Amino acid sequence: MAEKIDLDALRKRLAQRLALGLVDIACHMPTRAINRPVTAMGLHFSSPLGIAAGFDRNGRLGRRVAALGFGFNEIGSLAFDQVASLAPAHHGDARLGINLTLDATQSTAEACAMLCNAWPHADYLVLNLIGPASASLLRQNARLLQLLTALRHQQQQLDQAGGRRVPLVAKLRCLPAQIPFSLAGLLLELGFDGLLAAHDPGPPSTRQRYRDWQNQRQQAQACEQIEHLHSFCGEGLTLMSVGGIQSAADLQARLNAGAQLVQVHAALLHQGPWLAHRLLRAPRE
């Protein structure tokens, strides 16, 4: 019997490939430069707006997205074997983040080796704690502490030996009434550089979820979550925000709430490669 085709999943994959291809083409077109520089985690970014992990998963675009106004591009999320064969494009001015899948079945040595393999390519590294592979890890407090401590120590050793800083960030689920204060406290204690708050974790390409974020109450809730985290973390962690950004007003609201860097994904799928120009050229409040 022939295997049933999941048409919805197929449409999503085709839409993702089309959007990625359009952005790739746009990166080669002459555009007017946008410069809204920001310094975060000790790094200079040409703008506070970047591309979230999942859009350019394998690093096809790399740093070239600076031509479209993006200050950074986060590739991944990548597992151990994918990182080992990583060869992202290095030309371009955007910062490159690499999002690493923390798998609860990994040994500490494997996780550290994955970080070592990603470090030479990255301007910053993200430990992904919102995926299904890490779900059980979040219920093992002692194991999580041991793993994050080892990875932080590994990062420090690499920075010292390599003569440059590659900031370390953790990506955490951040939902109404589920703000990750305890995990944020752990990151502060371990000396992490940043926290990436995921306000809408999961595949971002469904039209209904995209429309849901046009509700200003939902946008306001995400800003409140950032405000609470900013109050809790102070200057100890750089806050990054991803989920629901569709307009210049959405972007500015997250920045006003305390996020220093903001990522887009679904809006890039729905609005096309000139998204950053529209969001960054609008007057600031």
Provide the CA 78 distance to its chain's centre, in angstroms: 12
**pLDDT of 197 strictly over 60:** yes
Assigned domain for 20 exists: no
The answer to whether 191 touches 151, Cβ cutoff 8 Å, is no
Assigned domain for 168 exists: yes
Element (H, E) at 124: strand 124-128
pLDDT tens by residue, 46-63? 999 999 999 999 999 999
Look at residue 85 in the predicted model and tell me its pLDDT. 83
> Rounded distance, CA 234 to CA 1, Å?
59
Look at residue 283 in the predicted model and tell me its pLDDT. 55
Assigned domain for 8 exists: no
Q: In which band, very low, low, confident or very high, does the pLDDT at 72 lie, cut at 50, 70 and 90?
A: very high
Q: Provide the angle, in degrees to the nearest 10, between the axes of the packed helices 181-190 and 141-162.
A: 40
For the chain, the maximum distance between any two Cα atoms, rounded to a whole number of angstroms, is: 60
Q: Which domain holds residue 138?
A: 33-281
Number of domains in the chain: 1
Q: In which band, very low, low, confident or very high, does the pLDDT at 1 lie, cut at 50, 70 and 90?
A: very low
Assigned domain for 207 exists: yes
Look at residue 11 in the predicted model and tell me its pLDDT. 75
Q: In which band, very low, low, confident or very high, does the pLDDT at 274 lie, cut at 50, 70 and 90?
A: very high
Mean pLDDT of 127-148: 95
- Give the helix, strand, coil percentages of the chain, each rounded to 5: 45, 20, 35
Residues with Cβ < 8 Å from 102, sequence gap 6 or more? Answer: 111, 127, 128, 129, 131, 133, 134, 137, 147
Assigned domain for 212 exists: yes
At position 86, the amino acid (one-letter code) is L
